[in-house]
């Protein structure tokens, strides 16, 4: 009786095991998700940084116009965050293909 119930239980679980092997996570899919997260999160962080630095830079330039060159350098550094994320995504996708 115990063997028969074990066989019936195994036969009931067989379709779920077969479907689980067909829906396995592939390395390519994980790479696409990782590259999307790298670009998305770095772009959001870059936008926040440009917003904060830009507002402070415009306030500083309003008081001292001669520091506008330094303000542009800081804005460029804040934009670099998004470019770094794009470079990382290209490197990840280069490993997949």
- What pLDDT digit, counting tens, does each position of 33-54 carry? 999 999 999 999 999 999 999 9
Q: CA-CA distance, 93 to 87, in Å (whole number)? A: 10
Of 35, 32, 77, the closest CA to residue 53 belongs to 77
User: HSE (CB half, 13 Å, CA atoms) of 1?
Assistant: 0
Structure tokens at 15: 């379709």
In which element (H, E) is residue 83 found?
helix 68-96
pLDDT tens for residues 67-80?
999 999 999 999 99
- At 2 the pLDDT is 56
What number does CATH give the domain 25-96? 1.20.20.10
Residue 23, pLDDT score: 58
More confident residue, 17 or 65: 65
In 3D space, the residue among 79, 84, 82, 91 whose CA is nearest the CA of residue 35 turns out to be 91
Residue 11 has pLDDT above 60, yes or no: no
Asked if residues 90 and 42 have their Cβ atoms less than 8 Å apart, the reply is: no
Helix H or strand E segment including 92: helix 68-96
The pLDDT score that the predictor gives to residue 9 is 61
Please determine, for residue 8, whether its predicted confidence score (pLDDT) is greater than 90.
Answer: no
* Predicted pLDDT of residue 44: 96
> Is the predicted pLDDT of residue 92 greater than 70, yes or no?
yes
Query: If we measure between CA atoms, which residue out of 72, 78, 71, 24 comes closest to residue 48?
Result: 78
């Amino acid at each position: 009786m115990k063997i028969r119930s074990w066989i019936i239980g195994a036969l009931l679980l067989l379709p779920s095991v077969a479907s689980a092997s067909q829906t396995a996570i592939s390395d390519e899919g994980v790479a696409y998700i990782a590259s999307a997260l790298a670009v998305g999160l770095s772009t959001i962080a870059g936008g926040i940084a440009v917003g904060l630095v830009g507002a402070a830079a415009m306030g500083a330039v309003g008081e001292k116009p001669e520091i506008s060159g330094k303000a542009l350098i800081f804005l460029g550094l804040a934009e670099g965050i998004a470019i770094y994320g794009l470079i990382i995504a290209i490197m990840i996708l280069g490993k997949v293909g």
